[in-house]
């Protein structure tokens, strides 16, 4: 579940507006879950905080409105469930339950239950809350620890960004939103087509931007490097306004790709974009990420290598001296075995089979925990019925949009509450910030004061934003001596879905 708050929404589709308020209703009748508050909403669902009366703990429940009616929503949901049901790791979001329930107009919505987290890394980075060296180190350590396990399972996340990384006030971090993940063996598709869907642009690896076939887990390592740099600088490293400018920015900063990489680029258009930049020499990373110290730069240089074969793996990164406080191979396990799910099959499934597959996933959970006794009797599904509308996210080149009415008035966001007292340190104890801090001590540093409304849904940020969110161009001007294509920078502090 990633950041997509109720306060920053795109306009709903006209045909969905009349059903918007209805889709905010959670039908939890007969389940052990009792809704407490709506805490997020995005293009791929609504999220509420609930209490699990059987286990006595809070959970986050994502409702996918009309999940059986929107093809792309069903595909994302199916992909995420099929991956997460096989994974159990401290730094990866846990799938607790999946069930379906009747909705208005006799439709069936899918509910995905996960463990509740308090906020996401995007909200922390772009607040005025103070961050310390130990936070950068421990956050990146956990990202890489989660990636090491995920990659050992045989899965590439493909959409890592700060809003898809959830954090608690004790500094526990978990990777979330696996709706675009794939098996490593299936990452050899037509990258030119897949680039419309893979990874939010600002965190997208060069090999995907450059249309290089056969990418692998190194695309996640690049994203981790972008996130680490963003933590340090408190701004995005490569905020291109479109794919063309994204390519230009990376080339201008990291230099012209080596010949070996140029030869693997399959798109003539991309060749033209790179050629238009002229011969570029890499800018010293310390000049561009000028708030980073030498130890941090050593890590960034390994994570942000332009050529994927020069980029380190998550396992190699964890062994770097920067993580010596936390690194312990005995608590950084690989998965006991790889998993395989056919992502290509999911893409090919007709609408009727998508509905069946999601229904079967919910039934599999029911077979383990038993049925919910008092739940409403579900109407029979007509698996052959056509979709009543076309989900815009099924159309290449269009942005994801919100399908829900934005009538609900939100309360203050977590960032707004964090900004009430921006000078308050994370932890006033000097001892807890020393180089001898234990893992447990750092985990208990407070990122922000506890609040009641603070969970992030794992949805892409909306494209529609208020102009007041745009900073002056100087925010993205590099240090003196670095020539950057400033017209290609976007001023948004929230990452785009894609264009």
What are the residue ranges spanned by the domains of the chain? 14-117+342-411, 119-336+415-488
Alpha-carbon distances, residue 146 vs 90, 216, 315, 376 (angstroms):
8, 16, 10, 38
Whether 259 has a pLDDT exceeding 80, the answer reads yes
Confidence of residue 18 (pLDDT cuts 50, 70, 90): very low
- What mean pLDDT comes out for the span 288-312? 97
What count of Cα atoms within 13 Å lies in the side-chain half-sphere of residue 413?
Answer: 19
pLDDT at 427: 32
pLDDT at 235: 96
- What mean pLDDT comes out for the span 390-403? 31
CA pair distance 101, 111, nearest whole angstrom: 8
pLDDT at 236: 96
Whether 335 has a pLDDT exceeding 50, the answer reads yes
CA pair distance 42, 6, nearest whole angstrom: 7
Whether 234 has a pLDDT exceeding 90, the answer reads yes
Whether 404 has a pLDDT exceeding 90, the answer reads no
pLDDT at 1: 52
Q: Work out the mean pLDDT of the chain and round it to a whole number.
A: 75
Whether 168 has a pLDDT exceeding 90, the answer reads yes
CATH number assigned to the domain with residue range 119-336+415-488, chosen from the 4 options 2.60.40.3880, 3.20.20.10, 1.10.510.10, 3.40.50.150: 1.10.510.10
Which residue out of 120, 159, 391, 402 is catalytically annotated? 159
**How do the residues of the chain divide into helix, strand and coil, expressed in percent and rounded to 5?**
40, 10, 50
Confidence of residue 188 (pLDDT cuts 50, 70, 90): low
Which helix (H) or strand (E) segment holds residue 61: the answer is strand 57-64
- Tell which residue, 495, 499, 426, has the closest CA to residue 42: 495
Whether 369 has a pLDDT exceeding 60, the answer reads yes
pLDDT at 484: 58
pLDDT at 353: 86
Give me the CATH code for the 14-117+342-411 domain, please. Answer: 3.30.200.20
pLDDT at 483: 56
Region of poorest pLDDT, from 152-161, 240-249, 330-339, 485-494: 485-494
Whether 6 has a pLDDT exceeding 80, the answer reads no
The binding site for ATP comprises: 63
The answer to whether the beta carbons of residues 35 and 24 sit under 8 Å apart is: no
pLDDT at 165: 97
CA pair distance 265, 423, nearest whole angstrom: 48
pTM of the full structure: 0.74
- What mean pLDDT comes out for the span 103-120? 83
Confidence of residue 471 (pLDDT cuts 50, 70, 90): very low
- What mean pLDDT comes out for the span 318-333? 97
The pLDDT tens digits for 482-492 are 555 545 555 54
Whether 196 has a pLDDT exceeding 50, the answer reads no
The answer to whether the beta carbons of residues 204 and 247 sit under 8 Å apart is: no
pLDDT at 454: 36
CA pair distance 362, 367, nearest whole angstrom: 9
The pLDDT tens digits for 421-438 are 333 333 333 232 233 333
- What mean pLDDT comes out for the span 26-43? 88
Neighbours of 366 (CB within 10 A): 16
Most confident of 288-292, 352-356, 406-410: 288-292
Most confident of 9-13, 101-105, 257-261: 257-261
User: In sequence order, which residues have a C-beta less than 8 Å from that of residue 177 and are 6 or more positions away?
Assistant: 1, 2, 80, 159, 164, 458, 459
CA pair distance 338, 428, nearest whole angstrom: 44
Q: Is 159 designated active site?
A: yes
**Coil vs helix vs strand at 417:** helix
pLDDT at 343: 74
pLDDT at 72: 78
The better pLDDT of the pair 291, 437 is held by: 291
Whether 466 has a pLDDT exceeding 90, the answer reads no
| % of the chain beyond a pLDDT of 90 | 49
pLDDT at 253: 95
Neighbours of 431 (CB within 10 A): 9
Whether 193 has a pLDDT exceeding 90, the answer reads no
Beta bridge partners of 166: 120, 174
The dihedral formed by the CA atoms of 391, 457, 333 and 171, expressed in degrees to the nearest 10: 160
The pLDDT tens digits for 221-233 are 999 999 999 999 9
In the block, tokens 């490097």 appear at 225
User: In sequence order, which residues have a C-beta less than 8 Å from that of residue 429 and are 6 or more positions away?
Assistant: none
Most confident of 10-24, 248-262, 436-450: 248-262
Q: Are strands 165-167 and 173-175 parallel, antiparallel or unpaired?
A: antiparallel
The binding site comprises: 63
Provide the CA 73 distance to its chain's centre, in angstroms.
16
Whether 119 has a pLDDT exceeding 80, the answer reads yes
- For the chain, how far is it from start to end, CA to CA, in angstroms? 23
């Amino acid at each position: 579940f990633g950041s997509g708050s109720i306060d920053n929404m795109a306009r709903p589709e006209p045909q969905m507006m009349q059903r918007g308020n209805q889709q905010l209703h959670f039908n939890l009748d007969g389940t052990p879950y009792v809704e407490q508050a709506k805490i997020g909403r995005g293009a791929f669902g609504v999220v509420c905080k609930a209490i699990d009366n059987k286990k006595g703990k809070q959970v986050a429940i994502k409702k996918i409105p009309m999940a059986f009616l929107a093809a792309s929503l069903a595909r994302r949901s199916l992909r995420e469930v099929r991956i997460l049901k096989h994974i159990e790791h401290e730094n990866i979001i846990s799938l607790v339950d999946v069930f379906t329930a009747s909705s208005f107009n006799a439709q069936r919505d899918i509910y995905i239950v996960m463990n509740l987290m308090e906020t996401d890394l995007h909200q922390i980075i772009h607040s005025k809350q103070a961050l310390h060296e130990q936070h950068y180190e421990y956050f990146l350590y956990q990202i890489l620890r989660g990636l090491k396990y995920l990659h050992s399972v045989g899965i590439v996340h493909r959409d890592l960004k700060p809003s898809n990384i959830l954090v608690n006030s004790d500094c526990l971090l978990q990777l979330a939103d696996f709706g675009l993940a794939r098996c490593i063996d299936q990452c050899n598709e037509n990258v030119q087509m897949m680039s419309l869907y893979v990874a939010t642009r600002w965190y997208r690896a060069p090999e995907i931007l450059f249309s290089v076939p056969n990418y692998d887990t190194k695309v996640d390592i690049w994203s981790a490097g972008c996130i680490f740099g963003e933590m340090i600088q408190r701004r995005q490293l490569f905020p291109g306004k479109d794919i063309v400018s994204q390519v230009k920015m990376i080339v201008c900063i990291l230099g012209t790709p080596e010949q070996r990489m140029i030869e693997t680029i399959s798109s003539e258009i991309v060749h033209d974009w790179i050629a238009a930049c002229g011969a570029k020499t890499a800018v010293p990373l310390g000049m561009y990420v000028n708030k980073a110290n030498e130890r941090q730069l050593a890590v960034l240089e390994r994570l942000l290598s332009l050529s994927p074969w020069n980029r380190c793996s998550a396992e190699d990164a964890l062994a770097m001296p920067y993580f010596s406080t936390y690194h312990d191979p005995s608590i950084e396990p690989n998965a006991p075995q790889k998993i395989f799910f056919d992502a290509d099959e999911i893409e090919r499934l007709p609408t009727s089979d998508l509905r069946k597959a999601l229904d079967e996933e919910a039934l599999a959970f029911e077979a383990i925990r038993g049925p919910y006794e008092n739940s409403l009797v579900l109407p029979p599904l007509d698996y052959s019925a056509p979709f009543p509308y076309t989900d815009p996210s099924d159309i290449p080149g269009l942005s994801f949009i919100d399908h829900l009415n934005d009538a609900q008035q939100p309360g203050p966001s977590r960032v707004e509450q964090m900004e009430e007292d921006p000078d308050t340190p994370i932890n006033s104890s000097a001892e807890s910030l020393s180089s001898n801090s234990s893992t447990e001590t750092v985990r208990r540093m407070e990122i922000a004061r506890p609040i009641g409304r603070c969970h992030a849904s794992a949805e892409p940020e909306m494209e529609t934003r208020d102009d007041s969110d745009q900073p002056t161009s100087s925010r993205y001007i590099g240090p003196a001596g670095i020539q950057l294509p400033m017209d290609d920078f976007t001023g948004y502090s929230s990452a785009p879905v894609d264009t």
